[in-house]
Amino acid sequence: MEILAFGVQADEKPLIERAFAGHHDIRCLDVFLNEDTAPIAAGYEAVSSSVNAVLDGPVLEILAAGGTRLIAQRSTGFNNIDLAAAERLGLTVARVSYYSPYSVAEFAWTLAMAVNRRVVRASTRTRDFDFRLDGLMGRDMHGRTAGVLGTGKIGEAFARIARGFGMRLLGWDVAENPACMELGMKYVSKDQLLAESDLISLHVPLMPETQHLIDADALKAMKDDAILVNSSRGGLIDTAALVSELREGRFAGVGLDVYEAEAGLFYVDRSLETVEDDTLARLVTFPNVLVTSHQAYYTEDAVGQIVDATVKNVLDYSAGRRSENVLVPRT
């Protein structure tokens, strides 16, 4: 069976080709899977998609009509896939249910410390041989409060790092994580967490219930000098409301690895084009905001695990096996 992989990054390609060697042939494309590119998959029984793929009803219909029967997504999140449509069309859908939580947790901390200590501004200055300290003052994390929204594997890893800094830990989730409680985390209401935290990091999945979890009211409940980090899903934050608060001079720093309208923008070079997204264009102008391109997961360790799980998903499909990664089973 030959597999067509969409949205493959240059660093990712050799890992994918090496992992599939001896199992199935794979063709890697750097274009993302959407309604315009879906016809390319005609004749491929299996398709592998990236996190920024658009797999709504129309795209799935094109894939099914072209003979695709398996979609193996190379991510944990699957809010971009219309699972009901996939089931109706007889498509098997699998994802990667686990990869290194440390990759995302460590990057969330990278964002937090970069905005706290004004690293980007300092680096830009020193490249111009400007070695002033004006405007570069940050704060110690030791003794301050870290609020973790979502205390699964990634949230737990983030909390362990926070404990290493000597921070007070507040958590919010639908279920308490005993490992986080052993770290000294106190579970509180979302409102209390927002009001008391100096650093807030988001680690919850994007679902209808969590869409705009951080809305205008939540942002207003936060401290004026709080640091907000999102390395989970862009839709967790109402970006327009965030821009409004930033215009009022609020927040010591905001680190965003994700953006709610990132599809079609992230992972693509738009440097020679006019970006028509006014919200994003305004967002990146704030000196206390750092935006990166959904790269928190992007370590050799995590990507290697993602690729290995994708290979396993394809092999399981071929053998008629079902694992915890299957979202829509083979019929």
Catalytic residue list: 233, 262, 294
Pairing type for strands 199-202 and 186-187 reads: unpaired
Q: Is 150 left (phi over 0), alpha (psi -120 to 50) or beta?
A: left
Cα-Cα-Cα-Cα dihedral sign, residues 295, 299, 302, 306: positive
Burial class for 276, CB neighbours closer than 10 Å (0-12, 13-18, 19+): exposed
Q: What share of the chain is helix, strand, coil (3-state, %, to 5)?
A: 35, 15, 50
Residue entry with tokens 């998959």: 41
Of 216, 260, 204, whose CA–CA distance to 242 is shortest?
A: 216
Cα separation of 29 and 231, whole Å?
26
Cα separation of 138 and 120, whole Å?
13
Residue entry with tokens 């799980």: 309
What are the tokens at 211?
């869409």
Cβ neighbours of residue 98 closer than 8 Å, sequence gap 6 or more: 76, 153, 305, 309
Helix residue ranges per DSSP H, the chain = 13-20, 57-65, 83-88, 101-116, 119-127, 153-164, 178-182, 190-196, 216-221, 239-247, 278-283, 300-319
Cβ atoms of residues 104 and 76 within 8 Å: no
186 φ, ψ (degrees, to nearest 5): -110, 125
DSSP SS3 for 172 = strand
**What are the counts of helices (DSSP H) followed by strands (DSSP E) for the chain?**
12, 13
